[in-house]
Structure 1
Amino acid sequence: MLIPYPNINPVFFSILGIPIRWYGISYIAGILFSLEFSKKIMKTNPFIMSEEKVDELYIYGFWGVLLGGRIGYILFYDLYNYTNNPIGIIKIWHGGMSSHCGFIGVTIAICYFSIKNNFKILSISDRILVSVPVGLGLGRLANFVNQELIGRIASEDALFKIIYPNYGLPARYPSELFEAFGEGLFLFIIMFSIFKFHYIRIRRGVLTGVFLFAYGLVRVICENFRQPDSQVGFLYDGITMGQILSVPLCLTGLTIIAISTIKHNQSTLKVMDKL
């Protein structure tokens, strides 16, 4: 089925000649939603922290996403270009963020905040990551509006395909929409559904592990429909950089889930021994 491209202007509006793009708005909207959502679920039993502390955490998190995502994109996706054009490093409004390395930046921010305030790192990440898929989904929709990170050329019998105005024929997979659904709506439903179960919520690290594994798996799948960055191309027989970076996320997620489950079972046995 051929999906008509909506042809939305990437620039939402301008202020004094400065373009305000959907790309930037998606980041801001995602952060604001996650902030307000986190303030609510941080109070859910067991209580984690006050709203004031959540505000402080998100200041660190914002810089973690920004610096981690930008530095990661430069190192893994376009080092040659930025080495020859270093001024382009600060032009974030032109795009160029690595979601994988954005996670690393957020992880560092959460670790710093937790150690500074004597909080359990995984207790915080469990709550924060519930709402993160919303921001990821909005970011992919902004990619779609910008006609960037486009899909590969679609097969004749493809269920969904689209013609990007900037690229013309042949029709391609709407990979940004696949990722918006997988990384956004699908992952949010999974995380929020699991969070609603108290007996899982109290197992510190399970939600963090589920997020890392599920996100990595979704990326590995969706990368099969997405055209790899032109400056990187395919690696190792059709494998993309995004897939390679997703494997450690999946393995880390499974490891955290396993350790959390073992610790919970050991605690349960200790309680049973006292009965």
Structure 2
Amino acid sequence: MLTNEELKAIKALQEICESIDTCQLKLNFDMLENRSGNTKEDYFHYEKDKLVGFLGSYGFGNKVEICGMVHPSYRRKGIFSTLLTECMKDLKRRNVHTILLNAPSESQSAKDFLRNQSCSFFMSEYQMMWQNTELSLDDGVVLRPSDSPADLEAEVQLDILAFGLEEKEAREYNNHLKESNTEQHYIIEVNGTTAGKMRVAESNGEAWIYGLAIFPELQGKGIGRKALSRIIKMERQKGLPIFLEVEAKNAHALKLYQSCGFRSYHSQDYYKYQN
């Protein structure tokens, strides 16, 4: 578990790096604030008790994403390379095979670093923010909290079918999400039948939507759009700005989110590391 002092130091370093590089780093503070267990996932470099380098690794089912930063005044000294090497040794011991290095699309310093790494471009991801748009609601779609073993099983199967997770990984991932208790888990129902699921995280005055998935046999019926509209209305009533992320290659999801009023404002590039 990270201390409050460590979290504050990471945030302060992030603000400096983003200001100089005019970019937005994806450091997943909702995960940093809820680290648990004995697995080392965060790596620090200090100079005279000042945090000048940080790397975080984030497990998402069958893959690990890595993002980090070095203070502009301390770059080109091998700090990030050292942090990455230490992280890679730990991931190798854990037998992690899919490793993605994450960098803001507009960060030239990140591109310069990645050019010398054993990695290849994998995908781009858009961060999207909801813009005020009129949405119609349908009484046929119901959102309710996920609160039973049957709901958990549905969430596991949806992650397997929609996101390509292996069963063991899907179960471990969903159990971890429930244990961390930092998100609201919803089951999407149509006529009393489980049709899909999604999660919402509320943190730092923002609402983020994750993991929207509909069973394949029920796709193409507008269920996802109606469920998304309900979540948007719920979060609007709380006065929260609403965000989500989507892979650029997922054209269907991108079109769905755009039709509900989401607009891209930032993008992240991912590079697959050859471990």
* More strand by percentage: 2
Relative contact order higher in (CA < 8 Å, ≥ 6 apart): 2
Task: Establish whether TM, by shorter chain, passes 0.5.
Answer: no
Normalised by the length of structure 2, the TM-score is 0.24
Indicate the structure with greater helix content: 1
